[in-house]
Structure 1
C-alpha cells in the first residue's frame, strides 16, 4: 500500500504577553532553521499563548572589563553583568550577540539569560593589577545592568561596591528605576565627582512603551528616577533612544522637557539601529503592532541609512544621514538651547582618587603616606 507523506502547516508567529520579540528566529550562524508547525493540538487563535519563562545560566567569563577603541563613543571600557536582557526591547542592538551562543536574537535573547557570578572577583583582580590605568567604566552599553534579574542576583550592586572601595569612576545608562536601590553608593560617589547616570526614555506613551520594551520600567517611573537621582545630587541625564521615524521621534522635545523638569541636566538621542537580525525582528514587530505605519516607518529608516536598513559607519551610525536625519539633528540642537540642557555624554569624572584597598593578609605600611 502506497504511503502518503503528510505535511503540517507552519504556524504563524504570535506575540507573547510580556515579551518584545514576536518570533524566535534562528541565529545567523545556525545551519538549520526551526519552524513551529500545527500538529492538530494547537491553541485557538484567540487563546493566549502560555507565559514564556525566563531561564538563567551561568556565564563563566575569565575577564569582566571589555575594552573598545570606537572613535564615536565616549568611553573605552565597559562592564556587562548579564548576557541577554529581560526588558525585551524589540529594537535592542545587542540582540545579535545571542547568535554567538547558538541562540536566537529573538525570544531567546530576552528569556535565556546568562549571569556572571564571578564578576566581582574578576573586577577586583583586574583593578588590582600593577599598571592599571584608570578611566571611567561604563555600565549599560550592551544589556541593562538593572534588568529584572538584578533584583535577585545583585551583581551590579556588588560591582558598584567594589568600584566605590577602589574610588573608581563609572557611568550608567539604564531603563530601570531599580537603580534607585543603589542610591547610597551613587550619592556617595557623586560627592567625589565619580559617577554619572543617564536614564533612557524612549517614549512617554505608556501603551507604546509596553509593546516596545515590555519589562522595562514605565516612562513615569524613569522620570521619577531622574527626579530622585537629581534630588540626591547625582548628575543625571536623559537618553531619548532610540528615536524611530514616524513612531516616536515626534516625542523627542516632549521627552527632553519632561526629563529637564524632573532634574536632568544633560540629554542625547540615538536614531534607531537595525544591524543583522534586528531588521527582520523589528519588521515583524511593526507588522504585528502598527501595521498601518509599517511601510512608512521602514521607508523613513532607509532614507536615513543611504537606502539600507542599517549602515555602521563611524560618526553616522548613531545619527543617520539624509534630510530626515538632518532635521532630527536640528530639532535636537534647538531643544538643547531652548531647555538649557547640555548635549554632551563625555564625562569629566575624577580619575585621581583611585587606590587599591588593602586586602586580608597585606603587610601594614610602617609609615602612613597620606
Structure 2
C-alpha cells in the first residue's frame, strides 16, 4: 500500500503522485496532519536537476534478453513520467523514491561525452553498437537545454562508432544532421516508442512525453532523412492498450517505420504498486481485469523476472498478443529485422597535423 501524498504538493502533470521509499530503505516516511496548522496552498512539484560526474559511462550487460552488450545513459530518472516505466526502481539505488522522485529529481551527466571519448579510445577497445535509451530517455525535456546526448552523438560520429537510440522525445529531431549522416554510413538506427494512439490516455499514462501524433511525425521526419526507424510498441498493456496493436502498427508503417517490435508490460519491484495505484485512480472499473490479464502472462504474479520470459511473457495471453503482432507486422510489409550496423569504419578522428591518406 502506498503512503498518502504530501498534502502541500500538487502532482498535476505527473505520472506518480506518491513518494514511496525504495526497496533498500529501512524506513517509510508518512506525512501526517497534526491539526495545528492550516494547510497552505498546494505547490506544484517542480523538476530538480542534479549533476553527477561519473568515472565511467559505458555500462556492460550479459543479458540474453537484449540485443546489445553495452549502453550509455546520459540521465538518471526521466521527466516523461511514464507510470509503467521499468526503470523506476533504479532510483532506489540513489536513495530516492521510484515514484515522484524518479520523474522530478533528475540526475544529469554533462561529462558523459568526455568519458565516452576516453573509453572508446582505450587500447584494446572492441567496437560494437552502443545503445542509448535502454534505461531512461536520452531525449527527455532536460536534453533540449543541456545537450548531453548531442555531445555523446558527436563523439560517436567523429569516431565512426555505431549506435542505436530508443526515444519518445521530439528533441531527437534537433540532431538530424548527425543522425542522418551516420545513417548514410549504416551506423545508426532509431527506435521510437509508441504505446497508444489515444491522446487522452497517453496524457494520463505518459504525462510529459510527446503526444502520439507527435511521435508519428518524428518517425516521418527521421525516415525522410534516410534513418531506419523501428517502432517499439512497448509496453502493450492487456485490457488497456492491447486492442490497438494493429492500429499502432498501421499508423507507424504509414509514417515511415521500417521494422517493429513489442514487449508486454513488465512491473518489476516498486513499479507494480505504483501502476496499481494509477489504475485505481484513472481506470477503477478496469483495474482488477487489467491486473488479472497481466498476471496471466506472468505465472500468476505481477512480474516474472526470469531471463527468457521477462521480455515476452508466457501462456495463452502472451502467445495471442505475439501472434496478432506477427500477423499484423507481416500484413503491413514490415521488414523482419534491421541489417547489422557497420562497425568497420571505427577509427580515431583525424587530428591537426596527421598525415592525410592518398585514397
Q: Which stretches of structure 1, 4 residues or more, deviate above 4 A after TM superposition? A: 10-15, 41-44
Q: Unmatched 5+ residue regions in structure 1?
A: 1-9
Distance 1:310 1:105 in 2: 17
Match of 1:140 among 105, 126, 133: 133
Cα pair 2:5 2:18 within 8 Å, conserved: no
Instruction: Spell out, residue by residue over 1:224-273, the C-alpha distance to the aligned partner (whole angstroms, 9 max, x if none).
Output: 00001111111011001100110111111101100000000100011100
Mapped pair 1:32 → 2:34? no
Q: 1:188 is paired with a residue of what secondary structure?
A: helix
> Once the 2 structures are TM-superposed, how far is the Cα of residue 12 of structure 1 from its aligned partner?
5.7
Matches within 5 A, 1:1-370: 11=4, 16-40=11-35, 41=37, 49-344=42-337, 347-359=339-351, 364-365=354-355, 368=357
Larger mean Cα displacement after TM superposition, 32-41 or 71-80: 32-41
Q: 1:28 is paired with a residue of what secondary structure?
A: coil
* Larger radius of gyration between Structure 1 and Structure 2: 1
Larger mean Cα displacement after TM superposition, 312-321 or 292-301: 312-321
> Once the 2 structures are TM-superposed, how far is the Cα of residue 323 of structure 1 from its aligned partner?
0.8
> Once the 2 structures are TM-superposed, how far is the Cα of residue 343 of structure 1 from its aligned partner?
4.2
Larger mean Cα displacement after TM superposition, 257-266 or 305-314: 305-314
> Once the 2 structures are TM-superposed, how far is the Cα of residue 314 of structure 1 from its aligned partner?
1.7
Cα pair 2:71 2:130 within 8 Å, conserved: yes
Larger mean Cα displacement after TM superposition, 15-24 or 228-237: 15-24
Cα pair 1:127 1:356 within 8 Å, conserved: no
> Once the 2 structures are TM-superposed, how far is the Cα of residue 298 of structure 1 from its aligned partner?
0.6
Cα pair 1:138 1:170 within 8 Å, conserved: yes
> Once the 2 structures are TM-superposed, how far is the Cα of residue 43 of structure 1 from its aligned partner?
5.5
CA distance change for structure 1 residues 98 and 12 in 2, over 3 Å: closer, same or farther? closer
Distance 1:275 1:105 in 2: 11
Distance 2:335 2:235 in 1: 19
Larger mean Cα displacement after TM superposition, 351-360 or 293-302: 351-360
Larger mean Cα displacement after TM superposition, 55-64 or 102-111: 55-64
Cα pair 2:195 2:241 within 8 Å, conserved: yes
Instruction: Spell out, residue by residue over 1:28-48, the C-alpha distance to the aligned partner (whole angstroms, 9 max, x if none).
Output: 11111011212335669xx8x
> Once the 2 structures are TM-superposed, how far is the Cα of residue 368 of structure 1 from its aligned partner?
3.6
> Once the 2 structures are TM-superposed, how far is the Cα of residue 50 of structure 1 from its aligned partner?
2.2
Q: 2:106 is paired with a residue of what secondary structure?
A: strand
Instruction: Spell out, residue by residue over 1:164-221, the C-alpha distance to the aligned partner (whole angstroms, 9 max, x if none).
Output: 0000110111011111010111110011011100100010001100111101111000
CA distance change for structure 1 residues 247 and 43 in 2, over 3 Å: closer, same or farther? farther
Distance 2:86 2:118 in 1: 30
> Once the 2 structures are TM-superposed, how far is the Cα of residue 342 of structure 1 from its aligned partner?
2.6
CA distance change for structure 1 residues 250 and 343 in 2, over 3 Å: closer, same or farther? farther
> Once the 2 structures are TM-superposed, how far is the Cα of residue 316 of structure 1 from its aligned partner?
1.2
Distance 2:180 2:166 in 1: 16
Distance 2:116 2:107 in 1: 18
Larger mean Cα displacement after TM superposition, 241-250 or 10-19: 10-19
Q: Unmatched 5+ residue regions in structure 2?
A: none
Cα pair 2:5 2:17 within 8 Å, conserved: no
Q: RMSD of aligned C-alpha atoms? A: 1.8
Q: 2:44 is paired with a residue of what secondary structure?
A: coil
